Chain A
Amino acid sequence: MWCMPLAAQAPAPETGRDIAQKAQVVQFTFKTLKVSGEMTLARGTESIGQRSFFAELIEHEPAAEYDRARITINAPTALKDTQLISWSSGSGEDQQWLVTPRTQRVQRIADRGRQAAFVSSDFSYEDILKWQLDDYDYTRVGQGPCPAGTCTIVDAKPKNRYSSYTLVKVFYDSDYRISKADYFGSRPDKPRKTLELTGYVRQGRSWQPSRSVMTNHETETSTQIVWSGYQIDMPIDERIMTPSSIGR
């Protein structure tokens, strides 16, 4: 969800990495971010589940330090207060924990579990993690049509050996905002999933989408997140994102 950066003005031509880097800088130009999400799981046009959650992000300047995020599920009632805590850094040492709501058990999700579905949605843990620039190798492949019109396409190859993707084809619009991303698995000819981000709005110095839709082409399901209530640079207590501080 925060994996896709966006950018302001940029001189052309840049390399794929340049584009990704500039886009990321602009998207994450904040110290903290709070936002609510309404997640709808669908099969075709039929809604098969609803989730609502609250997300909090803390950005750290030094690349070696972890950027932190916490997602707290508000609905359905059964999942209420389930938390996912994610730490990600440029060094590629990402960590995630799931905090169960009733017993406050903190369970570390191992790297190998990053391909698993997050709360049964079409987003995997890997998709939830913040996109770190150094986790991918980039190749600019040209221009192509996208929901925003014509986009610059950059191929990003994950370096993490536990990634379930072999390639992410990212479509940047003229303002370096992500319009679309195709996630490829074992089949090079057909993406496994597609993410579309629309309705960008300015939040402080960054652009944030108001709607994200991840479509799983294999299962023919999709998950839409409608974002609202963005708050930028509001204070967040880091301890809530520190597993060791969450009591059992």
Chain B
Amino acid sequence: VTMRRVLRATAWVPHAILAVDAVLILLLGLHFYRGRPIVNNSIDIWFDRSDPTVETLNHERRLFGADTWILATVWMRSERAGEATAVSRSLTEELERIDGVSRVISPTSIEVLQRDGQGLFYDELDAQEWPALRDTLLRHPFAGEFLVYAKSPDVFSLLIKEHTGPSTPDTVRQRLVSEVRRILDTHPAVGASAVAGTAVINADLNRLSWGDFLLLIPLTVVVASVVLLAMLRFRWRTAVAILTPVALTTAALIAAMLFSGRPFTMVTLALPGLCFTLGIASSLHVTNWIASWLRERGGTAAEVTRAAWQELARPIMVSNVTTALGFGLLAVIPVTPVQEMALFGAAGELLSGLHILFVLPKCLIWFGAAGELTSNQRLYAGERWTVGVLGGLAAWLTRLQRIRGRLAVAAIAACAVVAWLISTVSYDSTYLNMIQPKERLRVDYARFDAAGLPSAQLTIVIRRSGETPIVHAALNAALVKATADIEALPEVTKVVGPAAIFAEVAPALAGEQPMAQFAADDSSVTDAYIFALSGGNTEIGSYVHDGLGAYRLVVFFPYLDNSSLERLTQREIPSILGNHFSTMPDLTAKVSGVTVLWANMDNTMSRGQVTSVLIMAVTCFATFFLSLRNWTLAAYAMFANVLPVAIVAAILGATGRPIDMATVFIMGISLGIAVDDTSFFVHEYLARTRQPGNALVSALGHVGPSMIATCVVIVIGFSVLLASAFTPMRTFGGMTAVGLVLAMLCDLFVLSFLLIAFSGSTTGLKYAEDSVAGSDVVHAPSGTGAGA
């Protein structure tokens, strides 16, 4: 009664919603007009903000600068391999001309400590024939196995220092990377080239995301609209009336995201499309209800609008809140894009609920759809045939009751298999696996991998807490030994850092003094670093902090998947660091880097997903229990919803496809969406048991077509994600679609069977029936009366 009073007083609500929409859309236009960022899929935004490595990385950037590096490797044409010196010089010069590039360290530009008749100096090596230059560099502590390689005489690398950061506009970063590739690819002496690095990954991820933005949202809108129109037997007025609030919701959501400074990421790109299709699905329920109401009672526009608000407020609230929870609960994962997907997804669902409840009925009237809805034709195409099939299904399920005991045993066995398969599911967000193999980035990494050359890096930050303006010989020895031990790990190609700097300077300073004696003397060791720092080594700032209180080791290695990377960063390297630094007072040694943070994200997601799915399951069960007032029925409904989600997880386990930053949403969202139809179906069944005839046949005839129609729309909406450039998004779209089809099948087969096979013996069912019949409608009656 209170709700009705409230609803009566809210005649202005549709207008207010439309006004807010108009403002948001205006802001969206302004955002586009000003050229503000629309897509940002930079790797940096994917970190788990609670990961202590974030703090280490921030500290590292403060100490050693925020420059990032692109590692470019060049394979010379075999017939021109001897020209590598000239090629290196020419490439260095050209690359240094690119805006955004600070410096290029190449075999010909690296400043090597040398001595001539006058004294010491840091400078490039003199122009030499490639074999001689290469031999010299192979012996150099920094360049050996990093710029030139013992096993690959025709290959050399260039370290391109550039200063694009997370705040750099996409276009700038993409231009920089494409220029680098162009220069490398078009040199006539270069047979092949490959580039790696955070900037390259960011540029490619953003380029692909932009492609997704241009493709997925329009494609979803077009496909879903066409399907809707076809499904409604080309009732275009009804279709436009449905599409209007749905489109407004979607536009408002996009505006809210962009205007709040949250550009689309790889995963949030799916939100507008999902909002659109889920909105259409929910609208079908409401349209169906309004069609029934108009046919049965007729009435004015004001009456039908008010009736819809009064009767559908609760069911729509239940439906949208459960779906919103499916999104929103993943906000427990402290990874920004995941939280954006979770919170904006939830907000979109709630916004969609408001539009469907308040704006859709008005639109149906405004667009003159009442005439279409009251025609004698059934609402959905193929509805008559569907009702017939569902009737046959009900009869078959009724016959199956005879073997329900055996079916229960088989079901238990199947569940055990599913549980075992779920236990094999792994979490892996290896970023390279997100991209299709034909993409240049994957091709480049494959090239690095095949040649066993480094393409990834992590860093180790070693800091002293006290202000000691001296590098103790013991600390230097530990740095040297740790570097050697890490370099000896099979995964690691090269470690660049203070040890390489010391190895270059110390012999020059020691002169005739034995190196062991020089390296054992605190003053000599300190002066070696100071000489490098003051004497012109331009690279030392990247590895040794000014105050000699912090050191950075940069570990280069061929590309590793996240699990191998975790082993390297969480076991192998920490063990080496422990061996060499744990006994030193006031000293910390921490692994850092973007790659490490990315690998750590998996653990965060696995913990977050388990938590969110458990909370979602409890919430769904509570929702079922509160609306059905019966433990057993709630358990049946819950089983029918958990089963498809479990099967999806089992498929992931069986196919070895890991859960990543996009597929992590499959289970929560599937559950959130599926709950709605289940609740709707159980209530309809309970209502029909009080009427003469076969309750199951009647209930299926009533709600089945709507369930199937909404399922088709949603599945098509999710299937559009199969066109995404990102593998996780394709998996997310495909598997969620599979999950929702399974959810519908579980409702039609499993839940139907449970209801007729076991409800007879269910104590309290009668109470539930009475309770449902006596209460306000919890879910909108649907269908066109068929089977009733």
Contacts and interface: CB of A to CB of B under 8 A. Distances in A.
Q: Max chain B CB contacts within 10 Å: which of A77, A113, A119, A220?
A: A113
A118 interface: yes
Interface in B485-516: 509
A55 interface: no
A82 B469 contact: no
A115 B120 CA distance: 13
Interface stretch (A21-29, A103-111, A144-152): A103-111
B546 A117 contact: no
B121 A112 contact: yes
A80 B547 CA distance: 10
A119 B534 contact: yes
A225 B441 CA distance: 44
A98 B546 contact: no
A109 B533 contact: no
B546 A76 contact: yes
Contact of B118 (A76, A77, A84, A111): A111
Contacts of B93: 186
Contacts of A95: 118
Interface in B281-308: none
B419 interface: no
A187 interface: yes
B97 A112 contact: no
Contact of B163 (A101, A120, A220): A220
A120 B523 contact: no
Nearest to A187: B97
A116 interface: yes
B737 to A, nearest CB: 47
Interface string A201-234: 0000000000000000011100000000000000
- Grouping DSSP codes into helix (H, G, I), strand (E, B) and loop, the A interface class, with mixed when no group exceeds half, is mixed
B527 A113 contact: no
B96 interface: yes
Interface in A115-140: 115-120, 125
B119 A109 contact: yes
A161 interface: no
Given A78-B548, A119-B533, A110 B121 contact: yes
Q: Max chain B CB contacts within 10 Å: which of A79, A103, A109, A116?
A: A103
A109 B102 contact: no
B562 interface: no
B122 interface: yes
Contacts of A219: 102-103, 163
Contacts of A103: 523-524, 527
A79 B531 CA distance: 9
A159 interface: no
Interface string B550-569: 00000000000000000000
Q: Max chain B CB contacts within 10 Å: which of A48, A49, A100?
A: A100
A101 B536 CA distance: 16
B121 A76 contact: no
Contacts of B117: 110
Contact of A79 (B97, B467, B533, B549): B533
Given A78-B548, A105-B509, A219-B102, A100 B116 contact: no
A73 interface: yes
A27 to B, nearest CB: 26
A74 to B, nearest CB: 12
Given A77-B467, A186-B93, A219-B102, A117 B536 contact: yes
A102 interface: yes
Given A76-B547, A79-B534, A116-B111, A108 B540 contact: no
A183 to B, nearest CB: 15
A120 B546 contact: yes
Contacts of B111: 116
Contacts, number: 121
A113 B541 contact: no
Q: Max chain A CB contacts within 10 Å: which of B163, B523, B527?
A: B527
B432 interface: no
Interface residues of A, number: 38
B530 interface: yes
Nearest to B525: A102
A100 B527 CA distance: 6
Contacts of A101: 527, 530
A49 B118 contact: no
B538 A79 contact: no
B103 A109 contact: no
B68 interface: no
Given A98-B534, A119-B534, A112 B523 contact: no
Given A73-B534, A77-B469, A78-B548, A113 B121 contact: yes
Size range of the interface on B?
35 or more
A108 B120 contact: yes
Contact of A113 (B97, B509, B536): B536
Contacts of A118: 534, 536
Contacts of B101: 218
Interface in B694-708: none
Contacts of B526: 78, 102
Interface in A32-49: 43, 48-49
A101 B65 CA distance: 26
A77 B466 CA distance: 12
Nearest to B471: A78
A80 B469 contact: yes
A78 B469 contact: yes
Nearest to A190: B97
A68 to B, nearest CB: 17
Contact of B533 (A43, A77, A107, A120): A120
Contacts of B537: 116
A116 B546 contact: no
Given A73-B534, A100-B527, A102-B523, A116 B469 contact: no
B292 to A, nearest CB: 65
B468 to A, nearest CB: 9
Nearest to B508: A107
B534 A82 contact: yes
B123 interface: yes
B368 interface: no
B102 A218 contact: yes
A82 to B, nearest CB: 5
B536 A100 contact: no
Contacts of A97: 119
A76 to B, nearest CB: 5
Nearest to B524: A103
Given A105-B527, A107-B119, A218-B102, A77 B547 contact: yes
A78 B534 contact: no
B176 to A, nearest CB: 14
B437 interface: no
Contacts of B524: 102-103
A84 B534 contact: yes
B784 to A, nearest CB: 67
A96 to B, nearest CB: 8
Contact of A102 (B120, B527, B546): B527
Contact of A98 (B103, B531, B540, B548): B531
Q: Max chain A CB contacts within 10 Å: which of B101, B122, B467, B536?
A: B536
Given A43-B65, A218-B96, A116 B548 contact: no
B535 interface: yes
A247 to B, nearest CB: 14
A40 B526 CA distance: 23
B548 A108 contact: no
26 contacts: A77-B467, A77-B547, A78-B469, A78-B526, A78-B548, A82-B530, A84-B534, A98-B535, A100-B509, A100-B531, A102-B522, A103-B524, A103-B527, A105-B527, A110-B114, A110-B115, A111-B121, A112-B123, A113-B120, A116-B538, A120-B534, A120-B538, A120-B540, A125-B536, A218-B101, A219-B102
Given A76-B547, A82-B530, A98-B534, 9 more contacts: A78-B470, A98-B535, A103-B524, A110-B115, A110-B117, A112-B121, A113-B122, A116-B123, A219-B103
Which 4 A/B pairs are nearest by Cβ-Cβ distance?
A116-B536, A108-B119, A113-B121, A102-B523
